[in-house]
Amino acid sequence: MHKKNITKYKPFPAVDLPDRQWPNRRIERAPIWCSVDLRDGNQALAIPMNIKEKLEMFQTLVDIGFKEIEVGFPSASETEFAFTRLLIENDLIPPDVTIQVLVQAREHLIHRTFEAIRGARQAIVHLYNSTNPLQRRVTFGLSKAEIKEIAVKGTRLVKELVPEVKDTLIRYQYSPESFSDTELEFSLEVCEAVMEEWQPTEEAPIILNLPATVELSTPNVHADQIEWFCRNMKERSKAIISLHTHNDRGSGVAATELGLMAGAGRVEGTLFGNGERTGNLDIVTVALNLYTQGIAPGLDLSDLNTLRESYERTTRMVVHERHPYAGELVFTAFSGSHQDAIKKGMDQMDPTPGAHWQVPYLPIDPDDIGRTYKAIIRINSQSGKGGVAYIMEVEFGLELPKKMHPEFSAVINRIADEGSKELQPEEIKAAFYQEYIDLNKPLSLESYKISTRPDDHRHITFTADIIVEGKKIFIEGVGNGPIAAFVDALDGAGLKGFHLTDFRQHAITKGSAAEAIAYIEIQREKDKQMFWGASIDGNIELAGLKALVSACNRAWVSEMPTRLATDAASSDLVLQEKGEQS
pLDDT band for position 564 (cuts 50, 70, 90):
very low
Query: Is the predicted pLDDT of residue 524 greater than 90, yes or no?
Result: no
How high is the pLDDT of residue 336? 55
Superfamily of domain 443-570: Alpha-isopropylmalate synthase LeuA, regulatory domain (3.30.160.270)
How high is the pLDDT of residue 173? 98
CB 505 within 8 A of CB 516: yes
Q: Any idea which of 47-61, 98-112, 490-504, 514-528 has the lowest mean pLDDT? A: 490-504
Kindly state the greatest CA–CA separation across the chain: 89
Rounded to the nearest integer, the mean pLDDT of the chain is 89
**∠ CA 456-457-460, rounded to 5°:** 85
Amino acid in the structure at residue 520 = I
pLDDT digits (tens, 9 = 90+) for 83-92: 999 999 999 9
pLDDT digits (tens, 9 = 90+) for 393-402: 878 899 999 8
Which is more confidently placed, 484 or 251?
A: 251
* DSSP code of residue 570: G
pLDDT band for position 339 (cuts 50, 70, 90):
low
Question: What is the Rg, in whole angstroms, of the alpha carbon atoms belonging to the chain?
Answer: 29
- Sorted by sequence, the CB contacts under 8 Å of residue 137 that are 6+ apart come out as none
CB 484 within 8 A of CB 460: no
What mean pLDDT comes out for the span 469-473? Answer: 91
Instruction: Name the percent of the chain lying above pLDDT 70.
Output: 91
Q: 483 by DSSP, 3-state: which?
A: helix
Burial class (CB in 10 A: 0-12, 13-18, 19+), 427: middle
Query: Is the predicted pLDDT of residue 202 greater than 70, yes or no?
Result: yes
CA distance 249 to 282: 14
CA distance 281 to 357: 27
pLDDT band for position 510 (cuts 50, 70, 90):
confident
What b/e readout covers 252-261, taking b as 16+ CB neighbours within 10 angstroms?
bbbbbbbbbb
Task: Annotate 60-83 with DSSP letters as a single string.
Answer: HHHHHT-SEEEEE-TTT-HHHHHH
How high is the pLDDT of residue 385? 57
pLDDT band for position 496 (cuts 50, 70, 90):
low
CA distance 543 to 534: 8
What mean pLDDT comes out for the span 201-211? Answer: 98
pTM of the model: 0.68
What mean pLDDT comes out for the span 559-571? Answer: 39
CA distance 390 to 374: 15
What mean pLDDT comes out for the span 8-20? Answer: 93
Alpha-carbon distances, residue 373 vs 278, 329, 343, 383, 411 (angstroms): 31, 11, 10, 9, 20
CB 468 within 8 A of CB 553: no
What mean pLDDT comes out for the span 225-229? Answer: 98
Instruction: Name the percent of the chain lying above pLDDT 90.
Output: 69
How high is the pLDDT of residue 410? 86
Distance from CA of residue 77 to its chain's centroid? 23
How high is the pLDDT of residue 420? 76
| β-strands 266-269, 32-35 pairing | parallel
pLDDT digits (tens, 9 = 90+) for 411-455: 888 887 788 777 788 999 999 999 999 899 899 999 999 998 777
How high is the pLDDT of residue 167? 93
How high is the pLDDT of residue 115? 97
* DSSP code of residue 376: G
CB 307 within 8 A of CB 57: no
**∠ CA 225-228-233, rounded to 5°:** 125
Q: 87 by DSSP, 3-state: which?
A: helix
How high is the pLDDT of residue 2? 76
CB 531 within 8 A of CB 510: no
How high is the pLDDT of residue 561? 41
pLDDT digits (tens, 9 = 90+) for 525-563: 888 899 999 999 999 899 999 999 999 999 888 764 434
pLDDT digits (tens, 9 = 90+) for 70-84: 999 999 999 999 999
**∠ CA 36-37-39, rounded to 5°:** 65
Distance from CA of residue 92 to its chain's centroid? 24
Secondary structure E strands in 86-157 = 98-104, 122-130
What mean pLDDT comes out for the span 115-127? Answer: 98
Alpha-carbon distances, residue 190 vs 23, 152, 201, 267, 479 (angstroms): 28, 8, 18, 21, 63
- Sorted by sequence, the CB contacts under 8 Å of residue 575 that are 6+ apart come out as 484, 487, 488, 490, 491, 498, 499, 500, 522
Regarding the domain delimited by 40-315, which CATH topology (the fold level of the hierarchy) does it fall under? Answer: TIM Barrel (3.20.20)
Which is more confidently placed, 517 or 343?
A: 517
**∠ CA 233-156-192, rounded to 5°:** 10
How high is the pLDDT of residue 463? 94
CB 221 within 8 A of CB 17: no
pLDDT digits (tens, 9 = 90+) for 369-397: 998 644 333 454 445 556 677 778 878 89
Q: Which of 374, 446, 439, 384 is nearest to 409 (CA)?
A: 384
How high is the pLDDT of residue 346? 81
How high is the pLDDT of residue 335? 61
CB 266 within 8 A of CB 32: yes
pLDDT band for position 577 (cuts 50, 70, 90):
very low
Alpha-carbon distances, residue 395 vs 386, 424, 436 (angstroms): 14, 11, 18
Query: Is the predicted pLDDT of residue 580 greater than 50, yes or no?
Result: no
How high is the pLDDT of residue 179? 96
CA distance 323 to 283: 13
- Sheet order of strands, 530-537 included: 498-507, 516-524, 530-537
pLDDT digits (tens, 9 = 90+) for 275-321: 999 999 999 999 999 999 999 999 999 999 999 999 999 999 999 99
Burial class (CB in 10 A: 0-12, 13-18, 19+), 271: buried
CA distance 397 to 378: 19
> CATH 3.20.20.70 region(s) of the chain?
40-315
CA distance 199 to 156: 10
**Is the peptide bond between 48 and the residue preceding it cis, with omega within 30 degrees of 0?**
no
How high is the pLDDT of residue 566? 33
CA distance 531 to 528: 10
* DSSP code of residue 368: G
State in Å, rounded, how far the first CA of the chain is from the last one: 39
CA distance 162 to 123: 11
How high is the pLDDT of residue 578? 35
CB 172 within 8 A of CB 125: yes
How high is the pLDDT of residue 386? 62
> CATH 3.30.160.270 region(s) of the chain?
443-570
What b/e readout covers 400-420, taking b as 16+ CB neighbours within 10 angstroms?
bbeebbebbbebbbebbeeee
